[in-house]
Amino acid sequence: MRKLLALLLVFGMMSFATNLVTAQDTTGTQPTPTDTTAPATTTEAPPTEEAPAAPVEAASGIQMFKEKFIQGGWEFMLPILFCMILGLGLAIERVITLNLASVNTEKLLTKIDNNLKNGDLKGAMEVCRSTQGPTASVLYEGLRNAPHGPDAVEKAIVSYGSVQMGLLEKGLIWISLVIALAPMLGFFGTVIGMVEAFDRIEQVGDISPTIVAGGIKVALLTTVFGLVVAMIMQVFYNYIVSKIDGITNKMEEASVTVVDMLFANNIFKR
């Protein structure tokens, strides 16, 4: 289910990206009809110019985002947009997975303790088996090795805990790659844009403020978008890491508690 949601997000962002690319062609055709209507409305300009002022000011942020995206150039903006789509898909999949992996360890330990007090080791194992999450899986492995002694329980918990840690951290390397790659792509686009701006200055033979300012503005837009993507993904990354730390801490505490329960209920001596 979580992978399906991530795929839906990716497809939605891809359709949004195609709209941005196609919008570049539509913006080129918009100025022509405005010129033809201008002479017809010049005589009635005073009563009609006040009405369209409100919708012009109510321009949405998405439209402004599209305009800036087109101004930055699709050849550099599309890789940054692809990084954002990939990073958001991975991040949301991890967030859903970690939220599903979070378990109320107090209730789980209470159920295990009640079964162990009655001498029902299999019942305690069944409680862990019916509970989702890495904590329950690690405790199940520890209880399964309880007849072999405390050393076997600790080894099973440590070895299987490392396996669960690897599953929790799955995909983090790609999210960190997006965080590092998006600003680099933005800086690369900026450098290329600056080179093109200086090429125009060399061709014209004069340092015109309009040529320099326009080229630098377009070049810096790629850096802005790259930094925005990196900041968004950094927030997701820190949340995921903190979530993993919380799950591992509860896992370690629950493992120690279960070993103490096994000693307290004399399970190792049976």
Tell me what pLDDT residue 14 has: 53
For the chain, what is the largest distance between any 2 Cα atoms, rounded to a whole number of angstroms?
Answer: 102
Residue 202 backbone dihedrals phi, psi, to 5 degrees: -65, -35
Domain presence at residue 117: yes
Tell me what pLDDT residue 30 has: 45
Tell me what pLDDT residue 47 has: 47
* Total domains, the chain: 1
Residue type, 152: A
**Predicted model pTM:** 0.72
Q: Long-range contacts made by residues 97-100, C-beta under 8 angstroms, separation at least 24?
A: 97/2, 98/168, 98/240, 98/243, 98/244, 98/247, 99/243, 100/2, 100/132, 100/133
Residue type, 32: T
Host domain of residue 256: 104-168+250-264
Domain presence at residue 25: no
The rounded average pLDDT for each run of 10 residues, N- to C-terminus, in the chain (270 residues) is 50 51 45 42 45 46 70 78 92 92 87 89 90 90 88 90 89 93 89 80 72 71 90 95 92 90 78
Cβ–Cβ < 8 Å for 17, 81: yes
Residue ranges of alpha helices (H) inside 102-149 are: 105-117, 121-129, 134-144
